[in-house]
A and B are shown apart, each in its own frame.
Chain A
Amino acid sequence: MSLDTVGIVALEILNSVTILVLLALGLALIFGMMRIVNLAQGEFFTAGAFTVLTAVRYAHLPLWAGMLLAPFVVAALGIAIERLIIRRLYGRPLDVMLATWGVSLLLIGLITVIFGAVTQGIPFALGNFRVGRYSYPEYRIVMTSVAAGLMLGVYLLFRYTAFGRRARATIANPEMASAAGINTPRMFMLTFGLGAGLAGAAGAIMAPIVGVVPTMGVLYIARAFITVVVGGPIVLLGTLSSASVLGVIEALISRFSLFKIGTAGHCAPPPCEISIGGSAFFGQIALLLFAIVLLRLLPQGLSGFWRQRE
């Protein structure tokens, strides 16, 4: 393999990991920490993308302003949903699932009514740079930087601030935290809002490379959940490591053929064979298969496994 191919494959891996981190980060808080199976998480992502679309197309703001706005708009949406619905259902996981599924359908419906069910696009500056024979979009590096920044920001927030300590205390033991004077309903609300805002940020940053359509969240929610579940109980590091492992698998299988099997029927040029691996289709399959096998072997996820070994 030539050096530029090594470079481009490394960039592809980085890209896969980036997308998984972006998708999973908000859910890591809502599902990983708060244990809320939020089936509307995909629509928070969609709402972020539509915020950018609205800002750019209708309010004629610059693209970066729309992207900065998106997490706040979606966080506000998340807080409203927490206040109105989720708050009444803490400790009732099945009801929460049903309710958030309803919220998901409602949001898809609302966005469809407002914007129409059409796919829309957000054009962006098309810079690219060379890696040997390849040229590669600069925007993907921007995405990686944003994902890293968000990850680090969330880590610092929960590790080193008073808010973070209170939020962790609330989630670890609500009664105790409440007895210690923490306003626990407020902490739940803010954490949920933060998780929603992070999904909004992800939708906003990915909006220019994907089609913006009311049902877009559905395409991403499964991968978001899988990443968080594989990550296990140490939420942030677990999510990061599971995004890394799954991203590497997805990117490598998407790129390289593993083996070939012969087929009958039309093909050109002969010999008639299809390769297993080497396309996005097999990348997705590999990601799902790997997650299933991994959860069979390590039911607690990656970080649960480390914790056991300590």
Chain B
Amino acid sequence: MAPALLRARPAWAQGKTVPVGSLLDKTGGINIYGLPAIAGTEYAVAEINAKGGLLGKKLELIQYDTQSDIANFPKFAKKLILEDQVAVIHGGITSASRESFRPVIDEYKQLYFYNIIYEGGVCDKYVFVTGETPTQQMGPLSKYALKKYGTKAYTVAADYNFGHISWKWWDIFWRNGGGLTPVSGAKKGQHVGKVEFIPLDVTDFNATINRIQEAKPDVLMSFLVGGAHINFYRQFAAAGLKEKIPIISTTFGFGNEHIVLDAKEVEGLVACYPYFDEVDNAENRVFKAGMKKKMNNPNYYIGDAGAESYNGWHFWAKAVQKAGSFEREAVTKALESGIEWDSPMGHVKMDPASHHTIFTMHLAAVNKNHGWNMLESFPNVPPTETMQLCDLIKNPNQHTQYQPK
């Protein structure tokens, strides 16, 4: 018998509260993303509860610290589903952690939100993604770098599925001049040296930095991840390369690396996210003031990971309200009706077919004051690489991840 059939139907209709679950790394090397994501999560749930909860019930947030250890994800996901009987699970940070418990999500048909930047391609009826994907970041980044810096790129990437799949997409975008297919009239990128995949626990980048100097790239693309890899930027600057080789990245900044590092080490590095604290709109002003108060720190920097977790919970809350139910089928149907709203990062829309999010993307450069200078904005950028492959309305029985062959 399938375990799903053994599962008692949760009594969400009866109780005064509804349990909801979050799996994030509060400790360990990945907590540079986990801590801001936890802050965004707690803030969003408190905000929803302060407005009376959902369907007349308060949310009871159950969080487990997954400790930057992959083995904890399937374990705690099962606990959330079977013991705590949560209505929804949010969380997962590294793609390795997500893929470790997505089978659990699928086995128990559990509604799940993944709220962080990743390598794209997840196409799963039970999964909704509020993070950005390769097209949304690499399109603007490669066009900017080709125009501003030159055509020769060197790539350093974290050595797990995120880094490897990101590299495949990046290669396509870079050689096409910023698109999934060749962009006419654009300069085309090329690779010099090699792509380097670096395990998450490597802290010494001496040889890598010297190899980059040998290859003499016009620009360095970084898919580095986690606390240990922050050292790369410091050692790169210490070798005197910051002024010589500009860095672009799809990962730098959403773990608030620009707060940890000194301006003289990373000023000028360019990244592309839907959210920076510097994004200016009415919703973000309220969000920033509220988060600073919650964190009791007038200088608190929220960052992309915090804002996306916040958005994930609100996407879910809006769908629950629209559906008038906590049941997965009803909430999924509501989400697939194309929910859109004005979030702190601007207008966001859930793409019904791919379960991914369409945002306004911003290119920005690290400034002297541990913040970002906004360079350019691109409204309503879709996650094209995933949308072109994934249609969960036409073909709902998909639980896979697409990637370039």
Which residues of A are interface residues toward B (Cβ below 8 A)? 5, 8, 11-12, 15-16, 19, 112, 117-121, 123-124, 126, 128, 133-137, 139-140, 208-211, 213-215, 219, 251, 254-255, 265-266, 268-269, 275, 278-281, 283-284
Contact = CB atoms under 8 A, between A and B. Distances in A.
Given A12-B207, A117-B35, A128-B238, A268 B171 contact: yes
B204 A128 contact: no
Contact of B230 (A119, A128, A136, A269): A119
5 contacts: A117-B26, A128-B239, A134-B239, A135-B239, A211-B231
Contacts of B201: 219
A211 B260 contact: yes
Contact of B238 (A112, A126, A251, A269): A126
Interface in B191-228: 191, 194, 196-199, 201-208, 210-211, 213-214, 227-228
A97 to B, nearest CB: 22
A227 B239 CA distance: 28
B16 interface: no
B262 A121 contact: yes
B261 interface: yes
A117 B238 contact: no
A16 B203 CA distance: 12
8 nearest CB pairs, A to B: A137-B238, A119-B227, A128-B240, A123-B262, A135-B240, A254-B207, A268-B171, A280-B202
A120 B234 CA distance: 12
Nearest to A117: B27
A135 B213 contact: yes
A279 B264 CA distance: 27
B210 A8 contact: yes
B171 A121 contact: no
Nearest to A219: B201
B264 A126 contact: yes
| Interface bin, chain B | 35 or more
A278 B198 CA distance: 11
A281 B214 contact: no
B29 A209 contact: no
A124 B265 CA distance: 10
Contacts of B35: 117-118
Given A118-B32, A128-B240, A280 B199 contact: yes
Interface in B112-142: none
A139 B234 CA distance: 12
Given A112-B27, A134-B213, 7 more contacts: A5-B214, A118-B260, A123-B234, A126-B265, A133-B213, A210-B204, A280-B205
Contacts of A124: 238
Given A213-B29, A281-B198, A251 B207 contact: yes
B400 to A, nearest CB: 17
Nearest to A206: B203
B296 to A, nearest CB: 13
B226 to A, nearest CB: 9
Given A118-B31, A209-B238, A279 B196 contact: yes
A209 B202 contact: no
A210 B31 contact: no
